[in-house]
Structures are given as C-alpha cells and as structure tokens.
Chain A
Amino acid sequence: MTISTAKSAFWKGMRDSAPFILVAGPFGLLFGVLATEAGLNVAEAFSFSLAVFAGAAQFTALQLMQEYTPTLIVLVSALAVNLRVAMYSASLTPYLGDAPLWQRACAAYMTVDQSYALSIIEFERRADWGTRERMAYFFGTNGLVAPFWMAATVTGSLIGAQVPDSLGLDFVLPLAFLAMIGPMLRTRAHVVACFTACAVSLPATLMPFNLGLIVAGLAGMIAGAQAELWFARRSPELEDQE
C-alpha cells in the first residue's frame, strides 16, 4: 500500500499496454484521415478524439453524419456501439469502487477495451493489491495509448488533405469495422447476434432516417441473448460466455 508499489503498478500497466499502440496508432491515424475527408478540420478532429475517446463510436458517428442521418439517430447509434463500456464499468466496480470520486471519474473517462481487458486480468491475479495499486495500474494502461490515440488523430488529420480520392478511402471504414468485429466474436452467441443483425439490416435500410440500424441492432442483441440462453441449456458444462 506504499507509494512505491503504486508507482510500480503504474509502470507495469504502461508496459503491459505497449502492444496496443500498434492498434491505437493506425486507427487514430485512420480516424484523422477520414474526419478530414468528411470535412472536419484538425481542431475538430482532435476535439472529437479528446472529448469522446471511443474509437468505434467515433467511426460510427462519422459514417452516419455523412449519410445525412438525423442527429438524434447518430447519437443513439454511436452510443449503442459504446454500450459495452457500461458493462466494463460494472465489472470494474468491485475493484475500484472504493477510490475517491475524482479518481473514479478519471477512470470512467479512460474505460476503453484495452484498459479494461488488461486490468481485469491483472486485478484477478493480484490479490495483494489494494484499490490504490489497482487504480495506478489502470491509469498506467492508458499512459501510452491515450496520448498515442490523440496524436495519431492529429497526424491523420494533417495528412488527410494530401490523400488522393483514387485510394477509395470511402470503403476503408467498412473494412476497418469488419476487422474490429472479428476479435469480438468470441462465442457462438456472438456469431448469432452478428449474423442476425446483418440479415435484418439489409431490408431495414428501407426505413427512413437510418432507423433500420437501431432495429437491426436490437434484433441482433435479442438474438444473441436468446442464443446464449439456448446454448447454456443444451450444454451447461460448455458455457463459453465471457
């Protein structure tokens, strides 16, 4: 519980997160480039990454705004993509819930896929850590990745204007989303949710205001939840949810 163990926990978090720079860098760069293509200037792109700090939600909002989607639907869809962080928040609470409010508020801002995934594994392993060490580790996991994400957005946004249209960048975003989905399909229920949402989304494009996205998303979530129950009933010992 001393300062030095908290400090070493912070550095450990930073070291453990280093490989994630390889993901945050290119995707931040891509967000900057695509934001420029969509008409955002450098300050706007940077503010976007700084204020929202959620890759998938940022890409979703950018795509939908370019499709003349009503603002409310843009917000609902992008936040829906980010709903999983509420789950992370719930699962971190037993480990960080005792920290002072301002620390919990900072931790909340920094709750992203990589900080959650690294921390929850480490917290389960290190029974000797108190809230202080855990909080230090959690901040450490963002010590490199968060600045990298912001810097990459600015860099991408600066070079974005130089990228020629012939590169077909308007199809790179769908490809980026497909690349992000792959690792998320951890169980059969995830796969069911994914393909149900795809199947519903095609006819649902006939709905106005991109409402079809919400309908298809809900259909996928319900299908995933039902599939999870169904698989669990069939083979409880093979329960493979996260």
Chain B
Amino acid sequence: MNGTETEMAFDTMTLWIVIVGLAIGSFALRFAFIGLVGNRAMPDWLMRHLRYTAVAIIPALVAPLVIWPAPTDGAPSLIHFTAAALTFAVATMTKNVLFAMATGAGSLWGLTYLLG
C-alpha cells in the first residue's frame, strides 16, 4: 500500500494509526459539547485558553521551519525568510488566505529564480 518509490519517514502502520487517531479525536472534540454536554456553560478559564490554541500551535510549528528551512537542510536563508515574512504580512493585512498564499508562492519562486 505504501509508496515504495519515495523514501518515507514513517511506515503504513504509523500512517493509519495517525489517520484513525485523528479521525476519532477530531470527532470527539466536535461532538463533545453539541452531543454530550448539552446547554451547560463551560468554565470561563477553559474557553479563554481554547480561544488561543490555533493561533499558538500553528505559529509554534511554523517559526522553526522558517528560521531553519527544510529546502536548505536547515541553513538560515534570506529567500525563505523573505517569502515567509511577505506571506504573513499580506495575510495579516488583507485577512485573505488565498491572496497571501499567492504572494508567498510567487515571492518564493521569484526570489529563487532571481537569487537562487
């Protein structure tokens, strides 16, 4: 079942554990309140922390990937840093995911062509 032509960092078993685990976990998170808790209110402190999960975890994942990019095997790179900074700036200012993505991809390939 797995792609034998590509070198994989994980085996098929691990992949399916992740898929099934995430499927169950995501469903449980979504079903937790609408299905089980009913109309009871959640404690304020919990809601207050839940509000910031995505805006904390995603940047924490991305920051090291920008500072030590995979394409250069982790060597800091002006091209990748600039493309990332532009993407983030456009995303924050326009709040438009697609426009930001186009800017990012465009600047990455443009800069690689000019400087790479």
Which A residues form the contact surface with B (CB < 8 A)?
22-23, 26, 36-41, 43-44, 47-48, 51-54, 56-58, 60-61, 63-68, 71, 74-75, 77-90, 92-94, 96-97, 101, 104-105, 107-109, 111, 167-168, 170-185, 189-190, 193-198, 200-202, 204-205, 212-213, 216-225, 228-229, 241-242
C-alpha gap A122/B42 in the complex (Å): 23
Within the complex, which residue of B31, B37, B45, B97 is in contact with A183, where a contact is CB–CB below 8 Å?
Answer: B97
- Using Cβ atoms and an 8 Å threshold, which residues of chain B touch A56? 54, 58
Knowing A93-B34, A205-B64, say if A179 contacts B56 (CB, 8 Å).
Answer: no
C-alpha gap A219/B21 in the complex (Å): 25
Residue pair A224, B26 in contact (C-beta under 8 Å):
no
Q: How far is the CB of B98 from chain A (nearest CB, A)?
A: 6
Residue pair A179, B37 in contact (C-beta under 8 Å):
no
Q: How far is the CB of B40 from chain A (nearest CB, A)?
A: 9
Q: How large is the interface on B (under 10, 10 to 19, 20 to 34, 35 or more residues)?
A: 35 or more
B interface SS class:
helix
Q: How far is the CB of A24 from chain B (nearest CB, A)?
A: 11
Residue pair A87, B109 in contact (C-beta under 8 Å):
no
Knowing A41-B2, A167-B109, A179-B91, say if A219 contacts B56 (CB, 8 Å).
Answer: yes
Residue pair A213, B61 in contact (C-beta under 8 Å):
yes
Knowing A23-B98, A71-B14, A86-B29, say if A77 contacts B57 (CB, 8 Å).
Answer: yes
Q: How far is the CB of A54 from chain B (nearest CB, A)?
A: 5
The 10 A-B residue pairs whose C-beta atoms are closest, nearest first, are A182-B91, A220-B56, A224-B52, A216-B60, A175-B104, A39-B8, A179-B100, A51-B23, A108-B31, A90-B33
- Using Cβ atoms and an 8 Å threshold, which residues of chain A touch B42? 90
Determine whether B115 belongs to the interface, using a CB cutoff of 8 Å to chain A. Answer: no
- Using Cβ atoms and an 8 Å threshold, which residues of chain A touch B52? 189-190, 193, 220-221, 223-225
